[in-house]
Structure 1
Amino acid sequence: MSKVRLEIKNMLQNSIDKTNVKKEEEHNYKIDSIVNLDLIRDLTDDKEITDMLISKTTSLINLQIKNAISLGEIFTFVFEKLSKSGSKYDGLYEKWLQLNGVNKKTALRYRKRYELYSLVNNKESIAIMPQKYIDMLYSEEDKTEYINIINNGATYEEVINLLKDKTIAPEKIEYVNVVDFDFRNYNTLFIDIDKKVESLKDKEKKELQKYLMKIQEILNSYN
């Protein structure tokens, strides 16, 4: 095994050992904001089965949440260790991810969640937060302000509402396209078009027909 791969292996093992040593007291997160439990209750009238399904759903989601945090810690540890080790390790983080079959963007999402998770007191708010809001919060210029809001006791719902207020629905965004040519320049295009088409090869005729049909479709849509 090469020296570099051995060092990576040791870093990864140290991270895992570190995670195990400081393992937090078992905590089950509330999943009501993640899963509509009424949908599970609607599956059957058997209360015993319903209770079992809700219990196992809770266990499943909690396991996924805890795994996400643990993975974020590992990816963050390796990324920071290699980043601080100088230029000799440039590009090594991506190669290590590939070696372990992990997509770079996926690892980044885990790292974002773990970084925010590490900065807040109310860790549940970050642990159960949907990824789109993690991305929004992480990219905020005033990220520190949001961290302070969470640490000052804001509930999960309050944080989500603050982030939602900053979201603009796509259908409300107006796009202005500037047309930089004069349509009048094309007035003569269809003069003697029959003769022009006759001189075309079959492949060119088919291509022209495709575009003419598209033009017709666009113009007819405004009738």
Structure 2
Amino acid sequence: MKHRHPLLDRYVELDISGKSLPIQGKLIDMGQDILVVHNGTQFLYIPLIHVQQLRLAKPDSQEFQVPDLPFEPQNDPISYRKVLMNAKGMFSEIYITGNQSIHGYLTSVMNDFFVFYSPVYHSVVVSLTHLKFLIPYNPNVTPYTLTPEQFPLKPSPITLARTFDQQLRKLIGEFVILDLGENPNKIGVLKSIDQNIIELSTAGGSSVYLHFDHVKTVHLP
């Protein structure tokens, strides 16, 4: 029998890794590796690995009506991978870190990463361990109100590997953008990967070395 969390169906606050302000809303569901909160407007699917603290919200939290879940409820417990599979092809927003929020469509789910297609960044490879939350939008909403003609779903320009490590290795020699280009030192030619250390040649031609575990996203310009 599924264990019922004591805060289920109550108004809560969550502190999330990389986000300065807490998230508030009604706790709708919780599985072994993900939970669902409705903030009065949207459903947020939050991997538990990034939940630093979960607590009851203050009594003055406003009551609001929670609509039906965007994914068909199933008898099996909710899981991170199942949420990603259900979100494929649905217009969504994903939050990685800082102010980095991407709007678009989840197109592929691999072993430890997924591919997200955005009008701004095109095909972005996202490590599963670095997604902070996913927000699915209503079926009648499109990114930036673009028509299908203006924003056609395109296949990924890169051949997909099974793991994030293998995917990065396939891009050795390519000009890549890591972590959405938040730092100019994360844009350049991927020179090598040796024992989890990535060598990137930046605009000035100098080498920068990054640890594989801290790479959140990669995409081609």
Q: Which has the larger radius of gyration?
A: 1
- TM interval, shorter chain, is under 0.3
Q: Which has the higher strand share?
A: 2
TM-score in terms of structure 1 length = 0.24
Q: Which has the higher helix share?
A: 1
